[in-house]
Amino acid sequence: MSYLVGIDVGTTGAKVLLVGADGGIVARSTHEYPLLTPRPAWAEQNPADWWEATAAGIRQVLKQSGIPPQEIAGMGLSGQMHGSVFLDERSEVIRPAILWCDQRTADQCRWITDRAGEKTVVEETLNPVLTGFTAPKIVWLRQNEPEAYARVRKLLLPKDYIRFLLTGEFATDVSDASGTSLLNIARRRWSPKMLAALDLSEAMLPTVHESPAVTGGISPAAAEATGLAAGTPVVGGGGDQAAGAVGNGIVRPGVISVTTGTSGVVFAHMDEPRVDPRLRTHTFCHAVPGKWHVMGAMLSAGGSLRWYRDALAQAEVAEAKKRGVDPYELLTAEAASAPPGCEGLIFLPYLTGERTPYPDPWARGVYFGLSLRHGRPHLVRAILEGVSYGLRDSLEILRGMGLPMSQVRASGGGARSALWRQIQSDVFGAELVTINVDEGPAFGAALLAGVGAGVYASVEEACDRTISVNQRTRPDPDTSARYDAYYPIYQALYASLKDRFAEVGRLLQ
């Protein structure tokens, strides 16, 4: 049997999967690394941490499995999108990478839109310029750290920095490049108009490939560092959402995915590029060659529950450690004792700003409706419900675009909770299904590697051979009706607070 490796350079850690050609998981490893927040609304990481975690993960899965490195047919890469790795003439990192959830670039977004012209921006990139995207980070560096910018010779996205260390190649794929504000998404190539408007050279950027295309082979130095065989093919891979969609089988029209990880994403496949008229969602190239996708992204989905765990749930964390269980199990068990609707308590999950449907870097988290009656179960359940309302925002936009929805697939850490799946099903008013594999972008990256290595004839075939539905969660009509009554209130809260969010943001600056 041939084996495949999939790597996901995530926000909290690097995940490495060793997968058989039948889709079976042979070995897995995750190594975490820190998130740096040197100032309010900033988010950075050291690329060296990604490499150390990735190399350690590869060594670990090889050791766990006992599979000879020569039997690995290919490797695929995925990772957090939009981050910027700046390299100098010696290909060394100049400064910490600025991440997707960093919100410092609001002024640069306006500058780019004014400089290129809003019409050109939308025609070329099919999206507005947003604070999470890559191009504003380049402009921010030029305007705020000119000495560092003067040294820049190459710009890479997070997973593509790992590709460079593995293969020595400067390359990316169309799905990840879609989030830079520099790609002509309809033509699937760098945009000369956007580069000219920003006074950037294409030589600064990696070459662009379709996701299953082989972009290089493991170098002798990387082979020594990881235990892989030199020459092992490495394919283009995909941004975390596109690769995750492949791993969920979202490769044909009609099947929608709802992913609840650190961020939350509602994702739909498209045979042709289509755009929400109000630009509330993102239209990007898919990891399926010649296809596109539309997605709504919220920045703090599972991240909101993680914030609660770290900031307010020390007792549950200690108890979980004593019992040898996951703290989230205790938190969701606690939340189950609160009634649907939390007796009027509503949570806005905008802890790091928001993207869909509100591209607002200054939006912030809110508990609305607190009373003496509310206790810890209400606080936790309100987060689960608030995130679900936020995901419904994106789902409603896709419905409004007329996209077919024959099935909604739930994935990510949130989908492992039966309570959260039920809440989402009730809030959406739709059946949710889960599949036999829930390994996220790393699994999709492995399937893409299989296509590039000839193990599968196409991305669609790879999904058909490895993915099947295994569980269904149906909405409760009475609970759905209760959530339908609360949802408009949730929507109205942002409009009421928008100006206040901006005022606080200016004070922080």
Model pLDDT, residue 393? 97
Confidence band, pLDDT 50/70/90 cuts, at residue 71: very high
CATH numeric code, 302-434+471-502: 3.30.420.40
509 has pLDDT over 80: no
Residue 369 sits at the vertex; the CA angle it makes with 367 and 372, to the nearest 5 degrees, is 105
pTM to 2 decimal places: 0.89
Q: Alpha-carbon distance 297 to 81, whole Å? A: 12
Q: What is the pLDDT of residues 241-272, one digit of tens each?
A: 999 999 999 999 999 999 998 889 999 999 99
74 has pLDDT over 80: yes
Confidence band, pLDDT 50/70/90 cuts, at residue 101: confident
Say if residue 57 is exposed, middle or buried (CB neighbours under 10 Å; 0-12, 13-18, 19+): buried
Q: Mean pLDDT score of the chain, rounded to an integer?
A: 96
* 240 is known as an active-site residue: yes
The CATH class for the domain spanning 3-248+440-467 reads alpha beta
Whether 302-434+471-502 and 3-248+440-467 are alike in CATH topology: the answer is: yes
**240, 276, 360, 426: which one is catalytic?**
240
Q: What is the DSSP letter of 409?
A: E
The H or E element spanning position 163 is helix 158-167
Q: What is the pLDDT of residues 466-497, one digit of tens each?
A: 999 999 999 999 999 999 999 999 999 999 99
**Which residue is it, tokens 């912030």?**
364
236 and 172 Cβ atoms separated by less than 8 Å? yes
Model pLDDT, residue 103? 87
- Crossing angle of helices 118-125 and 106-116, rounded to 10°: 100
Which residue, among 389, 314, 313, has the nearest Cα to 349 in the 3D structure? Answer: 389
Share of the chain above pLDDT 70, in %: 100
Region 156-171: mean pLDDT is 98
Model pLDDT, residue 40? 84
351 has pLDDT over 90: yes
Q: Which residues pair with 411 in a beta bridge?
A: 259
Q: How many CB atoms lie within 10 A of CB 397?
A: 20
**Which residue is it, tokens 């790992």?**
162
Domain residues of the chain, as ranges? 3-248+440-467, 302-434+471-502
Structure-block tokens of residue 419: 């309570």
